[in-house]
Amino acid sequence: MSPPVLHATRALIDEPIKSNSASALPTYLSDVLDSKPQGYTGQYNNIEFTLGLQYTSALGENCRVVYLKRAEQLAEQERRAVCKNTNQQWVVTPQVIENKNNQISFGA
């Protein structure tokens, strides 16, 4: 016996999150994301980053895990995702659950 087929009757969100070119990462970081392997570590705007796995999101976007840490602090790394938008620009995806203690960004 197979499970019943369910159909959504209401959307989970009002409208999809739309990224614009203003939230796109700088060219230098885009080039790094396109060309460097998993495990590559670099620094930008006093933020240390380490590249993680590449994957395809549920929306069909090419994405990559990035670990961020402020260069001058010994704090734990923050795990973020960056994805290519429809304009083929890398953008940092919003976190579903924001942690008020972890607000690291590239300043882009």
pLDDT of residue 94: 78
User: What single DSSP character describes residue 5?
Assistant: P
Structure token pair of residue 63: 């994405």
Which mean pLDDT values do the consecutive 10-residue runs of the chain (108 residues) have?
72 54 82 96 92 92 92 80 91 71 55
Give the pLDDT confidence score for residue 107 in this predicted structure.
Answer: 55
Assigned token pair, 107: 């300043």
DSSP E strands in 1-108: the ranges are 41-44, 47-56, 62-70, 78-84, 90-92
Query: Any idea what the Cα angle at residue 58 is, between residues 52 and 64, rounded to 5°?
Result: 15
Domain-wise residue ranges, the chain: 21-92
